[in-house]
Amino acid sequence: MFVDSHCHLDRLSEQTHGGDIAATLVAARAANVNQFLAIAVTLEDVPGLAAVAREHHDVVISAGLHPLHQAPKEPTVSDIVDVAEQYGAVAIGETGLDYHYQDSVPVEVQHERFKRHLMAANELELPIIIHTREAKEDTLALLREHTNPHVGGVLHCFTEDLDMAREAVRLGFYISLSGIITFRNAASLRELARKLPLDRLLIETDSPYLAPVPYRGKPNEPAWVVEVAECIAKERGISVDEVAMQTTANFYHLFRAALPDAPDNVKEALAQSGLVV
């Protein structure tokens, strides 16, 4: 059993099962991927994602505005809260800081946007999904100031250093690894996969982006989250089953609002494992 903890189902490539979400999910389920968190990039995306979730019992959604999206109007905390509540989001985001493309959205705008999402997450007691790139110190400073460690969140598609990951874990966050971990030049991420506690790791595709080896150069899809789990298992010298079970349990520990709608076979297996109460 696997969970794709971060995918963009509304942005699939036409090369991915003809852009058909239902067919893409069928292919993923055939690979034993049993839960999908569909991530919003804008608040305007959320109604469409909610429609997908209504059609597919194993899809849950987030609500938020990406740090690099050029929005005509910045959402207020109330805007974020209202959309998340109206459409049944299980998480806030993705949001955060990205200094690699500062010309896209000014740093000061990113900071204010990030803080508003953090405040919304605290108000709703929902975990927050964080995009962070080349913004280590500022990201951690805002997390220290504004997050509730009892709610927490995840640093998704993590590409920063081990020190940042360890500090985020100390603050109550999970670290999510994507197909990047399989890239030849990602030795530091594979080291991180070995050294972080397994009960603080999630796996994701970030599809349709960042396809893992051996699919590099193709649009990514949720079925290929299995490649991420296999890479982690190899690095840690453990079975893929152990990685699958623990990262699935981690997902439901963090995104507790998703657990009532989890597939029955997932609930049964987790109950038997004792990993989720």
| Residue 131 in marked binding region | yes
* Phi and psi angles of residue 114, each rounded to the nearest 5 degrees, phi first: -60, -45
Q: Which residues contact 228 (CB under 8 A, 6 or more apart)?
A: 177, 178, 179, 181, 182, 203, 204, 205, 212
69 known member of a binding site: no
Cα gap 254→93, rounded to integer Å? 14
Check the annotation: does 8 bind a ligand: yes
Minimal CA–CA distance to 107: which of 145, 135, 146? 135
Q: Is 85 annotated as a binding residue?
A: no
Is residue 100 within 8 Å of 159, Cβ to Cβ?
Answer: no
- In this structure, the dihedral spanned by the alpha carbons of residues 82, 56, 264 and 276, taken in order and rounded to 10 degrees, is -40
Residues belonging to the chain = 277
Q: Is 150 annotated as a binding residue?
A: no
**57 annotated ligand-binding residue:** no
Three-state DSSP state, 91:
strand
Which residue numbers belong to the known binding site? 6, 8, 94, 131, 156, 206
Residue numbering of the annotated binding site for a divalent metal cation: 6, 8, 94, 131, 156, 206
